[in-house]
Structure 1
């Protein structure tokens, strides 16, 4: 219980520190460290995001298409799939992949630095560990996750168009024209905001759980596992809250037809 309290307490401290930092009152950012973390988060995650988005959207489109064809609503297919991908599937899917791929890495790295006393060495040298170790990781996540979300959305739409044409002979022009009948661009901005919030929370959680690791090498595994679980839970809970706040009062796209 004390360990959980320490992690939550550090989470709040890092969150407040980042707000203070983003307001321009923090120390100067180490750009080389930020570039290094960006290389870890973005390029190394790009391939798995594209592959995962492509095949999941294939399966999802396959199930949706036959139902709309049965209802003779071909003109709605692109609109409905884009709403599903932009509002829910791509932000959540991208975040889940990043949690498994990057957040676990952040926690394991920081946990190892704690048990090998590298963090203590930084304190002895007068270097703020939060500014040097955590801020670059959080900022790299905030920059990368929305960009990966856009790539996931584009991949999903191409995948949906591909399976529509391959199996049901729906022309790509019909598919993509249907997309722009929905609230695509406003939904896209809200989707990017969702991934921004996801990135902020999961990066701080993974760093907080890593920097408070204890009990030697055993603590690395415990911290990493609990960090991934907590990050996933936070994504699902935040997704519901943000979806309710952002999309609950929108007029149905069906009213546009």
Structure 2
């Protein structure tokens, strides 16, 4: 529960803030270009698809890698170089079961939940900006998003965030668990864990997107 609190509620504020600004930035780009084509009523659907399929899972994973993954790597790395891992083994306690498993499970549970909240925040910020700045009514954005989104989009978004959360926690704990070289080694392990996590997230995102969305789509047909 302590690790779940660290991954979930403690990371919620920065995740929502980031998702809100991402939603507003993409709203600016979509409204400008779609207005030229007379497709303003399609903005909500395109934005909902972009957020659900790619933006919120990846942005949430990046936040987790920077905030939670670095904390996991630094904490376990410090325990490794200070020989606390050996103390656990002397007490007949498996360090992996005691330290790694709770962190991985917490990330697997909190990742999809954070993803859903970030998606709602991104859409809410987009609706607000479109209504106040570009005079696109909120009901137009919401109705367009409702017609474009399907249960498959929601499912794939949750699967992506689950995979990303697992990747971040596993890599961060592995790098922290194999730290050596004192304080310098802890810093190097933390940096490496974050970098490797980010690269792995982007690679996994490509693989999952290729698996889930290969071929022609028909989501935007619902917006005509």
TM-score scaled to structure 1, two decimals?
A: 0.85
Structure 1: distance between partners of 2:93 and 2:32: 60
Give the counterpart of 1:216 among 162, 176, 182: 182
**Residue of structure 2 aligned with 1:225, choices 187, 191, 196:** 191
The number of equivalent residue pairs is 223
Asked if the contact 1:50–1:151 (Cα under 8 Å) also holds between the matched residues in 2, the reply is: yes
Q: CA deviation at 1:94?
A: 0.5
RMSD over aligned Cα, in angstroms?
1.0
Check if 1:42 corresponds to 2:20. no
d(CA) in 2 for partners of 1:162, 1:38: 31
CA distance in 2, matches of 1:58, 1:251: 25
* Partner deviation per Cα, 1:25-46 (whole Å, 9 max, x = no partner): xxxxxxxxxx010111111100
Counterparts of 1:69-80 in structure 2 under 5 Å? 69-80=35-46
Displacement of 1:186 in angstroms is 1.6
Q: 1:94 & 1:250 partners in 2: Cα distance?
A: 27
Residue matched to 2:66:
100
Give the Cα separation in 2 of the matches to 1:208 and 1:96.
Answer: 18
Instruction: Work out the CA distance in 1 between the residues paired with 2:169 and 2:5.
Output: 16
* Aligned residue in 2 for 1:64: 30
Please say if residues 83 and 182 of structure 1, whose CA atoms lie closer than 8 Å, have aligned partners that are also in contact: yes
Cross-structure match for 2:118: 152
| Contact residue 45 and residue 220 of structure 2 kept, 8 A | no
| Equivalent residue for 1:241, pick from 207, 215, 221 | 207
| 1:131 alignment counterpart | 97
Work out whether 1:196 is the aligned partner of 2:162: yes
Could you tell me how far 1:75 is from its partner in structure 2?
Answer: 2.0
Task: Verify the 8 A CA contact 2:73 2:193 in the aligned structure 1.
Answer: yes
Distance (whole Å) between structure 2 residues aligned to residue 178 and residue 115 of structure 1: 54
Q: Any gaps of 5 or more consecutive residues in structure 2?
A: none
2:84 paired with 1:112: no
Large movers: runs of 4+ above 3 Å: none
Q: Distance in 1 between matches of 2:137 and 2:163?
A: 36
Shift of 1:60: 1.3
User: Is the contact made by 2:46 and 2:220 (CA closer than 8 Å) also made in structure 1?
Assistant: no
Contact 1:83 1:184 survives alignment (8 Å): no
Q: Which of residues 143, 146, 153 is equivalent to 1:187?
A: 153
- Aligned-partner Cα distance in 2 for 1:148–1:137: 16
Alpha-carbon distance in 2 for matches of 1:237, 1:83: 20
8 Å CA contact 2:48, 2:149 repeated in 1: no
Separation in 1 of the partners of 2:68 and 2:164?
13
Distance 2:93 2:184 in 1: 27
